[in-house]
Chain A
């Protein structure tokens, strides 16, 4: 089994890398390209901590071969911020205390970012459904849902972070 030369388009930058057929995208990101934001936890698609975007859609990088990612536009958690400036979503996570140990956060951010890209004003039910594939063992999810809701509506008043509303719009059944 020989290494294969491929080019991956990650966060709008081309990366030339030599990979084995059995290398997952996550292993290449972390071990070859030093993009260690995406985390490996369960390694079998259950926890969601390795979530990255492929062509704008959230996927499990632990269950995606690096070879399968060739030709797709990949976005990792490192691609959310512009330099030192955090994205609204990242800032909202900090402001609302949605990060405790932080291990699930890169996956949560990527799943939430994919949701907000297609639905900028999601209600609570929509947010919980979009994040259902991501496990967090610290926060109890409430803070994360609030952070995502506020990131989608940053203009609203919020007593928590002084710039927006803490209230999550309830789903109309």
Chain B
């Protein structure tokens, strides 16, 4: 499969990169590891006139702890995250998610955390070859007015299958988006639009610069279900965070449950999360109840477009959330 033609730009530093982004805007795309972008380009889903390579931007590759916050540069490779003691100990869900992304050959230097968060939404009606798509009318994401995943849908229902984003949302991460002359910080909770065509609330001249994770004295866990242990995207995944009470270590003071691969964005489930407040860490019934609420809350968002049947994926939301809660509870008790 040949890539379509494009011009290749290799800025030497962040300033030059933001300059180029501000000049070319919609004509360019950012190339970090390329494991998502180049595949889409090969399938003719995307034909940017120019690619800006982040190859020389080593300044965006770091993991550090500052004032109770873990900061990760957007171009940091998944391999660096997996091997970081800081991430393994204080952002368990992110470590467990990154370990599952792609395979060793993807995680080493090619796959980056920024690329994983910003990977495009997927749908098995859309992520097909040009030949396959040419045999029928274009769907919403392909520039048409039809959704093959949900009858009479007025918008694109493609699914966000990012492992990293689901785990990061669970542990309350926020993103720093840089543009020429400034930058802004946005909570991952507020980073998504409700549109599958352009799922991220960011402009074409903005660059994801940094991911910040607050250390909250809590423990997190991530579980995912996929057909193949390597390479495959999750068909359901869940990230959870459990914060024990300061006065009683066995009680849950706060919880966050996020379910991924079930909608246009990772879903923070407020009702399921708050149902755990004040509950005991050994209370399996409370976990089952939260997993049950998660399943009921997430199901309406999902459409049948990432492989397994919708019914199976909905059932598995319960399993993923319950398993992740159990794992996080064990980590808190240690």
Interface residues of A (CB under 8 A from B): 1, 4, 20-24, 27, 43-46, 48, 51, 54-55, 57-60, 63-65, 67-68, 111, 114, 129-130, 132-134
Task: Name B8's contact: one of A43, A44, A67, A130 (CB within 8 Å).
Answer: A67
Instruction: Please give the distance in Å from A68's CB to the nearest CB on chain B.
Output: 6
Asked if A59 contacts B108 (CB within 8 A), the reply is: yes
Asked if A65 contacts B34 (CB within 8 A), the reply is: yes
Closest 3 pairs between A and B when the two form their complex, measured CB to CB: A133-B103, A132-B230, A21-B8
Asked if B39 contacts A24 (CB within 8 A), the reply is: no
Evaluate whether A1 and B105 lie within 8 angstroms (CB atoms) in the complex, with A46-B231, A63-B34 already known. Answer: no
Instruction: Please give the distance in Å from B146's CB to the nearest CB on chain A.
Output: 25
A24 / chain B contacts, CB cutoff of 8 Å: 3, 38
A22 to B1, CA, bound (A): 11
A27 to B42, CA, bound (A): 13
Does B55 count as interface, using CB distance less than 8 angstroms? yes
Give residues of chain B (22-66) contacting chain A, Cβ–Cβ below 8 Å. Answer: 31, 34-35, 38-39, 42-43, 51, 53, 55
Interface size on B (CB < 8 Å)?
31
Residue of A nearest to B108 (CB): A57
Evaluate whether A65 and B42 lie within 8 angstroms (CB atoms) in the complex, with A59-B108, A111-B104 already known. Answer: no
A55 / chain B contacts, CB cutoff of 8 Å: 109
Asked if B105 contacts A22 (CB within 8 A), the reply is: no
A68 to B43, CA, bound (A): 21
A64 to B35, CA, bound (A): 8
A27 / chain B contacts, CB cutoff of 8 Å: 2
Instruction: Please give the distance in Å from B249's CB to the nearest CB on chain A.
Output: 29
Cross-chain pairs A/B with CB under 8 angstroms, 30 sampled: A1-B6, A21-B5, A22-B4, A22-B5, A43-B1, A43-B42, A44-B39, A45-B106, A54-B109, A57-B109, A58-B105, A59-B109, A59-B110, A60-B35, A60-B105, A60-B106, A64-B34, A65-B34, A65-B38, A67-B8, A68-B34, A68-B53, A68-B55, A132-B229, A132-B231, A133-B102, A133-B104, A133-B105, A133-B106, A133-B230
A64 to B3, CA, bound (A): 11
A63 to B33, CA, bound (A): 8
Does B203 count as interface, using CB distance less than 8 angstroms? no
Does B151 count as interface, using CB distance less than 8 angstroms? no
B154 / chain A contacts, CB cutoff of 8 Å: none
Instruction: Please give the distance in Å from A102's CB to the nearest CB on chain B.
Output: 19
A50 to B53, CA, bound (A): 22
A120 to B43, CA, bound (A): 39
B74-115 near A? 1/0 per residue, CB < 8 Å: 000001000000000000000000000011111011100000
Evaluate whether A60 and B110 lie within 8 angstroms (CB atoms) in the complex, with A43-B1, A45-B35 already known. Answer: yes
- Having A68-B34, A133-B102, one finds 6 other A-B pairs with CB under 8 Å, namely A45-B102, A58-B104, A59-B110, A68-B55, A132-B104, A133-B103
Asked if A21 contacts B7 (CB within 8 A), the reply is: yes
A64 / chain B contacts, CB cutoff of 8 Å: 34, 110
Residue of A nearest to B4 (CB): A22
Task: Name A22's contact: one of B2, B110, B229, B230 (CB within 8 Å).
Answer: B2
Asked if A20 contacts B5 (CB within 8 A), the reply is: yes
Asked if A1 contacts B108 (CB within 8 A), the reply is: no
Asked if B1 contacts A44 (CB within 8 A), the reply is: yes
A44 to B34, CA, bound (A): 10
Evaluate whether A21 and B51 lie within 8 angstroms (CB atoms) in the complex, with A63-B39, A63-B110, A64-B34 already known. Answer: yes
Instruction: Please give the distance in Å from B143's CB to the nearest CB on chain A.
Output: 22
A22 / chain B contacts, CB cutoff of 8 Å: 2-6
Evaluate whether A63 and B104 lie within 8 angstroms (CB atoms) in the complex, with A54-B109, A68-B55 already known. Answer: no
Asked if A58 contacts B108 (CB within 8 A), the reply is: yes
A4 to B10, CA, bound (A): 13
A48 / chain B contacts, CB cutoff of 8 Å: 103, 105
Instruction: Please give the distance in Å from B58's CB to the nearest CB on chain A.
Output: 12
Residue of B nearest to A23 (CB): B3
Evaluate whether A65 and B103 lie within 8 angstroms (CB atoms) in the complex, with A45-B39, A133-B230 already known. Answer: no
Asked if A63 contacts B35 (CB within 8 A), the reply is: yes
Asked if A130 contacts B104 (CB within 8 A), the reply is: yes
Instruction: Please give the distance in Å from A71's CB to the nearest CB on chain B.
Output: 9
A4 / chain B contacts, CB cutoff of 8 Å: 8
Instruction: Please give the distance in Å from B79's CB to the nearest CB on chain A.
Output: 8
Residue of B nearest to A59 (CB): B110
B7 / chain A contacts, CB cutoff of 8 Å: 1, 21
Instruction: Please give the distance in Å from A137's CB to the nearest CB on chain B.
Output: 14
